Amino acid sequence: MKVLAAMSGGVDSAVAAARAVEAGHDVVGVHLALSRMPGTLRTGSRGCCTLEDSNDAWRACDKLGIPYYVWDFSDRFAEDVVQDFVDEYEAGRTPNPCMRCNEKIKFAALLEKALALGFDAVCTGHYAKVLRDTEGNPELHRAADWAKDQSYVLGVLTHEQLDHCMFPLAETPSKAEVRAEAAARGLTVANKPDSYDICFIPDGDTRGWLAERIDMKPGEIVDQDGNQLGEHGGAQAFTVGQRKGLRLGRPAADGKPRFVLEIRPKDNKVIVGPEALLSVDELRGIRISWAGVPIPEIITGEEFDCMVQVRAHGDPVDAKAHMERSEGSDVLVVRLPEGMRGVAPGQTMVVYQGTRVLGQATIDKARSTSWDSSKVS
């Protein structure tokens, strides 16, 4: 096949491209320029898509003997990922920019351009599998190495996109094997640190970064009964489950720490309370997409058993789910028999059956039967 290898400049994408070449495909490497700031540099494991990453991607392609290009997607990235991140925080939600980047950039804009240029597939270094059902339809599954599995951040992929995805690292048992293979192939990125945190906030100071882009106004910090405990400098700077930085000045009556339970940007309030109230029993999701052909229960609206994961490195938990219509829109309702802690609106919930990703939704509401937040005015 004619394959476009997305080259991030890291070891995973380099080895994935090498395997695609070795498999006999006609491979072309491309690095996505997501920022127009020429001074953007990498700081250890922080940041990605930097000048250093672009150079590392070029060296890998040169070693593999494949063409290398840089595509400028900075405008799309600024609008679909960065601005979405700001808008979500401004609305009091906690977004996942990596999900938006995969959805809007790597497997929408990139794949769209690749297909227009005659490529058959896009190859990346993600740890996930694309399998086929008995009728040849693509399904997204967890990778062999669950410790490195990235099927969660790929949960936004659609049936059509999965049909053109190639993940050569799917069956690799460990990251150590990938690094050893890179070294054996003479790739200079063999020992390059993995990137983490938000790529466009390389110093990790999300609160400071947001403060420059959102009009933060002082407001009240109240407890679960509506009693004012203190003041904050901007509700959007907080996230559900947060413990540090509340600066309340006095402990709770029981001496235990308080946690952020809810953020209300319209009222400019932050509600805090005991850790026990962080557990939620029901999640309601919007912006739903299905990774492959939906199972019959999704079409009929029947309840089905599944597992749900709400963080890239979180553990999946047992759940029951069903589809329903609410105010003219589809809603994915997930019930959690054992509860789940620290879930925030804006997070992505990915639904699994076994190793298969069924689909994903953005959490619009997280409800708890042990605490009714609507009573807090």
Q: Please identify every residue annotated as catalytic.
A: 101, 199
Q: Which helix (H) or strand (E) holds 289?
A: strand 279-290
Q: How many CA atoms lie within 13 A of 312 on its CB side?
A: 17
Among candidates 272, 277, 271, 261, which has minimal Cα distance to 369?
277
What is the strand order of the sheet 2-6 is part of? 68-72, 26-33, 2-6, 121-123, 165-166
Specify the amino acid at residue 25: H
Structure tokens at 281: 């029993």
Q: Which helix (H) or strand (E) holds 62?
A: helix 51-64
Specify the amino acid at residue 36: R
Specify the amino acid at residue 73: F
Specify the amino acid at residue 249: G
State the DSSP code for 306. Answer: E
Torsion sign over Cα 155, 161, 167, 173: positive
Distance of CA 30 to the CA centre of its chain: 22
Among candidates 228, 60, 271, 51, which has minimal Cα distance to 258?
271
* Farthest-apart Cα atoms in the chain, separation: 68
